[in-house]
């Protein structure tokens, strides 16, 4: 586990823009591990607990979770302007790169190597998402029950192919039932 730097002074708009632009260019899809590195470890804008809380809220909101996180961090430090700058900075540079890559892929589509490259990228993205989940779970005070519930969800989706919305709804119901039973 990486040690986070102590929280620093409030970032300027330029620092927010640079930090989130760098984050947007570091990865494609599943950038939560990189977001943690930039926001907590390198820049010290959030603590581990704050990061886990904001990322969790970002996952519950519509849209990409790290873009939601960038809006929350930007808003925390510079209000609406900060949120706009952070979101634009994480989205625009990576969108330009994505358009350039899509253009290149369209030209290379006839190559048999494209399928192998797509499979490799999918595997890498899956690994990044799994690593981010483990890192957040270990730092957010996971209990044996929540670890068991997460493992059951992973099996239901990954092994048995059950749809994510149904598994998520079932996990929420089970989680609330266990919490309610424990509160009595």
The 10s digit of each residue's pLDDT in 84-124 is 999 999 999 988 988 998 888 777 776 667 777 778 888 88
Give me the domain span that covers residue 68. 13-142
The reply to whether 166 and 87 lie within a common domain is no
Identify the band that residue 1 occupies on the pLDDT scale cut at 50, 70 and 90.
very low
- Residue 2 in domain: no
DSSP letter string, 119-174: HHHHHHHHHHHHHHHHHHHHHTT--HHHHHHHHHHHIIIIIT---HHHHHHHHHHH
Residue 177 tokens, joined: 């039932």
Residue 9's pLDDT is what?
66
For 121-167, write each residue's pLDDT tens digit: 888 887 877 777 777 667 666 678 887 888 888 888 888 988 888 98
**What is the model's pTM?**
0.57
d(CA 97, CA 32): 19
User: What are the residue ranges of helices labelled H in 37-112?
Assistant: 48-60, 65-108
Q: How many domains are there within the chain?
A: 2
* Per-residue model confidence (pLDDT) at position 94: 84
Listed range (20-29, 56-65, 155-164) with the worst mean pLDDT: 20-29
User: Is 138 found in the same domain as 173?
Assistant: no
Q: Are 73 and 46 in contact (CB under 8 A)?
A: yes
Q: Are 60 and 26 in contact (CB under 8 A)?
A: no
């Amino acid at each position: 586990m990486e040690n986070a730097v102590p929280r620093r002074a409030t970032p300027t708009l330029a620092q927010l823009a640079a930090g989130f632009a760098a984050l947007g260019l570091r990865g494609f899809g599943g950038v939560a591990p990189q977001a943690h590195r930039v926001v907590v470890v390198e820049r010290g804008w959030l603590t581990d607990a704050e990061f886990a809380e904001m990322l969790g809220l970002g996952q519950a909101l519509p849209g990409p979770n790290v873009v939601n996180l960038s809006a929350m961090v930007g808003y925390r430090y510079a209000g609406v302007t900060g949120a706009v700058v952070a979101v634009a900075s994480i989205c625009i540079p990576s969108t330009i790169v994505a358009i350039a890559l899509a253009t290149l892929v369209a030209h290379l589509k006839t190559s048999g190597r494209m399928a192998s490259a797509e499979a490799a990228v999918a595997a890498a993205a899956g690994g990044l998402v799994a690593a981010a989940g483990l890192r957040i779970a270990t730092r957010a005070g996971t209990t044996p029950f929540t670890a068991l519930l997460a493992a059951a969800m992973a099996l239901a989706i990954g092994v048995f192919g059950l749809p994510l919305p149904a598994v998520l709804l079932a996990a929420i119901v089970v989680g609330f039932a266990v919490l309610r039973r424990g509160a009595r």
